[in-house]
């Protein structure tokens, strides 16, 4: 963060985000954004735009958050990376968030922490 980079924090289930969000918001304030499937389309678009504009330096989300436009991505954290929720079965495209995160990190020259 000190270098102006963004952090993507991936969790297998949205239910796990409450504790993490609270801790990160205490430490980093309004720099923390949340993205998940329970948001309406309008909320998702708004968050997408805020991320693209650099409003959030830390984004917490499930596997679909890998597709957000984080132009200054410096770190991807996959918490509980062994969890089956990180594996997209249906509908297509099928992918594993761990593998996608490793590819994205290589493209963005970012670090990855698998937890």
Whether residue 1 lies inside any domain: the answer is no
Instruction: For residue 75, tell me if it sits in a domain.
Output: yes
- As for how many domains the chain has, the answer is 1
Q: What is the pLDDT of residue 27?
A: 94
pLDDT value of position 111: 97
CA dihedral 16, 74, 39, 115 (to 10 degrees): -20
Backbone angles phi, psi at 10, to 5 degrees: -100, 130
29 falls within a domain: yes
Tokens of 71: 């132009």
The CATH number given to whatever domain includes residue 33 is 3.40.50.300
Low-confidence ranges of the chain (pLDDT < 70): 16
Do the Cβ atoms of 43 and 16 come closer than 8 Å?
no
* pTM, entire model: 0.89
Provide the pLDDT for residue 47: 92
Looking at residue 76, what is its pLDDT?
98
Please give the residue range of the domain that contains residue 36.
Answer: 6-114
Give me the pLDDT at residue 113, please: 96
Spatial contact of 96 and 86, defined as CB atoms under 8 Å apart? yes
- Asked if residue 56 belongs to a domain, the reply is yes
Two structure tokens written together for 62:
């499930």
């Amino acid at each position: 963060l000190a270098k102006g980079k963004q952090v993507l924090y991936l969790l297998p289930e949205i239910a796990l985000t409450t504790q993490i969000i609270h801790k990160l918001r205490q430490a980093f304030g309004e720099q923390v954004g949340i993205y998940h499937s329970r948001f309406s389309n309008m909320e998702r678009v708004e968050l997408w735009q805020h991320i693209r504009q650099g409003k959030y330096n830390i984004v917490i989300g499930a596997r679909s958050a890998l597709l957000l436009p984080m132009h200054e991505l410096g770190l991807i954290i996959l918490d509980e990376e062994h969890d089956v929720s990180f594996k997209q079965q249906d509908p297509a495209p099928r992918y594993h968030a761990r593998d996608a995160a490793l590819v994205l990190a290589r493209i963005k020259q970012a670090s990855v922490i698998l937890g």
